[in-house]
Structure 1
C-alpha cells in the first residue's frame, strides 16, 4: 500500500475537487482502504498517493464493475493481507497453546519429578582466621587495634586523618602520633580520636611541628597497645611494606606494596611558613587522602614510616587529581620518633641548621649560597666552617644535591651536633668542608 500520512494514520480531507494525499478520492471521512469508494466529480476512482513510490496492489473495483469482479478482487490471494491475518491468528493460537503446555510441564517438574532429595553436599571444612607472622594478614591483625582515625573540626571546616598509639602516658593518658597537617587549625575541642572498636575519645594536641609535619595528640584512655618503632635506616629498596589508615574516612584500610626509593626529598605546604621538609621513604602502597598520619609497617609489623604525602597528576584547569598513583611518601621512623619525643617533653621540636641563605634563582650544578653580604650568618655553623657567599655546594656526605630543597631536607633529617661534609666549589677549586650543625631557636 502507499505510505499513509503522519498523525493518526490519515490526513484531514482536502478541499473538494482535489486528491487526498492518502491516495483515496473520498474527501468525506476516513475510509477503509478495502471498501468501495465513492468517486468525486473531478477525481478518478483510485490513484496512488505518490506515483513514483508505487501503488496498492489490490485497488478497489471501479464504479459499475460487476459484483463478481468485486468478489474476485476481494478474495485473498497468495501474499494478500487477509492470508497474513489468518496466519497471524494461527501463530497466536499456537503460542497460547504452547504457553499453556509449558505451564503444565513446569507444574509437573515442581511436583518433584526433576529434584533429587537424597543428594547432600559436603559442609565447608573448618577454617582458621590465624595467619602466620610476616604475612600481610598477620601484620594487619596485630597493627589494626593500635591504628586510629582522627575527626577534626576547625575554622577551615572538617576533615579526617589517621594516627597510631605511641605509648601510654604516666598520668593515665595515651599519646597518638599523627601529621601536623591533620590537626593544624583544629578548635580546642575539635579533635576526636576513633579507635578501631568504634569508641570515640576527645583528643588534645600536646605539640606539633610544621617543618617535620608531625603532631602528638593525647587521649584520656588507658589499655591501648602501642605500635613498636622499627629502624628506618635499615630499610632498603624493594622491602615489602604495609600501610594502615583511614583513606577517605574508611577506617581500618590495609594496603601493601614495596619501598620504591629512599631519601626522596619532599617539600609540601602552600607557603614557606607552612612548608614541610621530608627526606622520605617512597612507596607504591596505595596511600590516599585520610591515610595521613598512619603507619607504614615493615614485615615485622614495626613502624618504619609515617604516611604523609602523595604525588598527584595535574587535572583540569590546573587542579590536581587527588588519589593514589603509586607514589606515596612517608617520614622515616627515626625522624618521627626523635621529633615525637621532643614534642611530648617540651611541646616543640628543634631543627638542625647551618645558617646560610641559598640562591633559589641559580640553575647550574649544585646549590649556590647567595653571593651577597650576610648570606653566611656571622658566628653560625657555616661561618665557623669557612663557607663563603657564592660558594656552590655540590654534595652532602657524598650525596649530590641539585636544588635548595634537597640540601635543606638532608640537613633537617639530622640532629643538632651532627657533623656533615659539604663538597664545595669555590672559583675553580673543589674543597670538602666539615660543618657541625646547630639547633635553631
Structure 2
C-alpha cells in the first residue's frame, strides 16, 4: 500500500524580506496618495441647521486647500465636512460643479494636507498599472489596484429622471464601490491621472481623466464656479479607420457613434448610431477628448460641421450645439 505523501510546508518568509515588485509599487503609490484623499460628507445648510445629502471622496490638488471630487457627490449640497487619514478635519464649501464632466471643486475652511501631484491621462496605455484610493462604503483610506482596461469611453448614465453622458472616461478593473466616487486614480509614479466615479454601477471601475480638457474645466470652476459647455448628445467610442477609408479621407481614426440621445442636436443634425465621425468643426476627431475640446462656450448656437462616414460615403452634416444645462 502506497503511503500518502506528507504535505509540503513552505518556509514562512521573514518579515524583513522585500516585497515583490508589484506589491512594492502598489504600497509606494498608496503611501504617496492616501494622505491627500479625504472622506467627504456633503450637506445642505439652512440657517443654523445642516442636512446630509450624500458623501464620497475628494482629492487635495492646490496649496491653498482646494479639493477635486465628482459633481454627483456634491449634488444638491452647499458644502460639508472632509476628514483625512492623519485625523485632519475641516468644513468645506462648494465652489462649483460641472455635471457633464462629473467634476466639482470644494475648498477647505481650515488647513488641509498638501496637494497631490496631478499627472496627464493622455499618456496612459491600456494594461498600465493604476491604483485607486478612496472611501468605499464608509471604509476610509481603502486602496485597490488594477490595470487600465480601456481609454476614451463615453458612458451614458442615469441621473434621476434624466440621462447624461460622461465623456472620455478611463476604464479600470480596480474595484470601485459607492463612496469611491471623487477619490484618486494614480499611475505608477503616484501622480493622480483620474478622479474615480462609481456612478455607473458597483464594481465597474471608471475615472474622469486629468488631461488638457479637464484642466480647462477645473480652471473654469475655480474662476466662475461653473462651466459653459456646448452639447451634442451622442455616445461614441474611438476606432481606427480601414486602410481604404483612411486613403479616401486622409484620417486614420474616428469616433463610432454608439447612441444618439433623443431630442439632441446630434439627432436634429441627422446623426445615426453606426456613423463614423471623422471631423468635427473642421478638425480631426480621434477620440472623445478631441471632440470635447471643441465644445465649450464659443460653440454654443453656432453651426458645427460634422464629416461622417456612412455606408461607404462621406456626408457633411451641420449640428447646432445647445448649451449644456446642469
Aligned mates of 2:184, 2:169 — CA distance in 1? 13
TM-aligned CA distance change 1:350 to 1:245, over 3 Å:
same
TM-aligned CA distance change 1:198 to 1:279, over 3 Å:
same
1:54-97 Cα distance to aligned partner (Å, 9 max, x none): xxxxxxxxxxxxxxxxxxxxxxxxxxxxxxxxxxxxxxxxxxxx
TM-aligned CA distance change 1:204 to 1:233, over 3 Å:
same
- 2:58 counterpart (158, 163, 167): 163
Equivalent pair of 1:177/1:217 in contact (CA under 8 Å): yes
Q: State the TM-score, normalized to the length of structure 1.
A: 0.52
Q: Which has the higher strand share?
A: 2
Show the counterpart of 2:314.
430
Equivalent pair of 2:41/2:52 in contact (CA under 8 Å): no
SS of residue in 1 equivalent to 2:61: strand
1:363-413 Cα distance to aligned partner (Å, 9 max, x none): xx876799x9xx86xxxxx9xxxx9854547122389xxxxxxx9998446
User: Is 1:139 aligned to residue 29 of structure 2?
Assistant: yes
The CA deviation at 1:425 is 4.3
- 2:118 counterpart (208, 212, 229): 229
Aligned mates of 2:269, 2:105 — CA distance in 1? 39
Show the counterpart of 2:278.
397
Show the counterpart of 1:179.
70
Aligned mates of 1:209, 1:235 — CA distance in 2? 24
Please show how residues 244-393 of structure 1 align to structure 2 within 5 Å.
Answer: 244-271=133-160, 273=162, 275-309=164-198, 311-312=200-201, 323-324=202-203, 327-334=204-211, 335-353=213-231, 389-390=269-270, 392=272
1:269-301 Cα distance to aligned partner (Å, 9 max, x none): 334656352321100001111000001111111
Q: Which has the larger radius of gyration?
A: 1
RMSD of the TM alignment (CA)? 4.1
Aligned mates of 1:235, 1:214 — CA distance in 2? 20
Greater relative contact order structure (CA < 8 Å, 6+ sep): 2
SS of residue in 1 equivalent to 2:198: strand
SS of residue in 1 equivalent to 2:56: strand
TM-aligned CA distance change 1:396 to 1:259, over 3 Å:
same
TM-aligned CA distance change 1:397 to 1:424, over 3 Å:
closer
**Runs of 5+ consecutive residues of structure 2 not aligned to the other structure:** 1-13, 45-49, 235-256, 281-286
Aligned mates of 1:420, 1:135 — CA distance in 2? 46
Show the counterpart of 1:44.
none
Please show how residues 59-78 of structure 1 align to structure 2 within 5 Å.
Answer: none
- 2:91 counterpart (190, 196, 202): 202
Q: State the TM-score, normalized to the length of structure 2.
A: 0.68
Aligned mates of 1:413, 1:262 — CA distance in 2? 17
What is the number of residues matched between the two proteins? 271
Q: Which has the higher helix share?
A: 1
TM-aligned CA distance change 1:392 to 1:166, over 3 Å:
same
1:123-163 Cα distance to aligned partner (Å, 9 max, x none): x786899x999711111111111111101234984533111
TM-aligned CA distance change 1:231 to 1:270, over 3 Å:
same
Please show how residues 17-166 of structure 1 align to structure 2 within 5 Å.
Answer: 135-154=25-44, 157-166=52-61
The CA deviation at 1:353 is 3.9
